[in-house]
Amino acid sequence: MTTPRGSVTAPTRQGGSSLGATLLVGGIVVGLDQATKALAVAHLSPGQRIPLLGDLLGLSLIFNPGAAFSLGTNATWVFTGVGILACIAVTVLAHRQRGRQWGLALGLVLGGALGNLVDRFLNPPSPGSGHVTDFLAYGDLFIGNVADIFVVIGMGMVFWTVVVGPHRPTATAKSQR
């Protein structure tokens, strides 16, 4: 880009990166996740099930060494590594993206991933191989936690932003041209 006097300046992008919003939202999500897990540990007993919506949704405390649906229970350290790499990738992406929508979406994903990583590092049996605290029972399908919910919502928002885009014209706007 050239100025009126002929000097060259670097092109600028509108707005700053979404990194600040991502980190703020991520921090809030980690706090909510860890608070709900602490409440679950304080008030629930493993094996106990408290129905909230009949058989559809309930509270049931477990300590999950694996991933979703308790897959990979013997590879806990792999999930720790994947979680760390995911957090790094989300942070780099947040630095490169612009806008609040990206900040919110990536913050939800980052906070959810970090919430489960906190468990992996602080819960028994050992740092890096700790079991994730899960307490939200979805029927007989699986038991998850608040971090999982935020990751799913955040990934849905990322998908929506990529596919639909924040500035795609609507059918009405196209027909008015």
Comparing C-alpha atoms, which of 118, 127, 105 is closest to residue 145? Answer: 118
Residue 83 lies in a domain: yes
In a domain, 12, yes or no: no
Is residue 13 included in any domain, yes or no? no
Instruction: Report if residue 177 sits inside a domain.
Output: no
Q: How do residues 99-109 score in pLDDT, each as one tens digit?
A: 999 999 999 99
What lies within 8 Å, CB to CB, of 163 at 6+ separation is none
pTM beyond cutoff 0.85: no
DSSP 18-39: SHHHHHHHHHHHHHHHHHHHHH
In a domain, residue 10? The reply is no
Backbone angles phi, psi at 56, to 5 degrees: -75, -40
| Residue type for position 51 | P
Q: Which residues are catalytic?
A: 134, 148
Number of domains in the chain: 1
pLDDT digits (tens, 9 = 90+) for 117-171: 999 999 999 888 899 999 999 999 999 999 999 999 999 999 999 998 766 555 5
Q: Which residue's entry shows tokens 């809030």?
A: 28
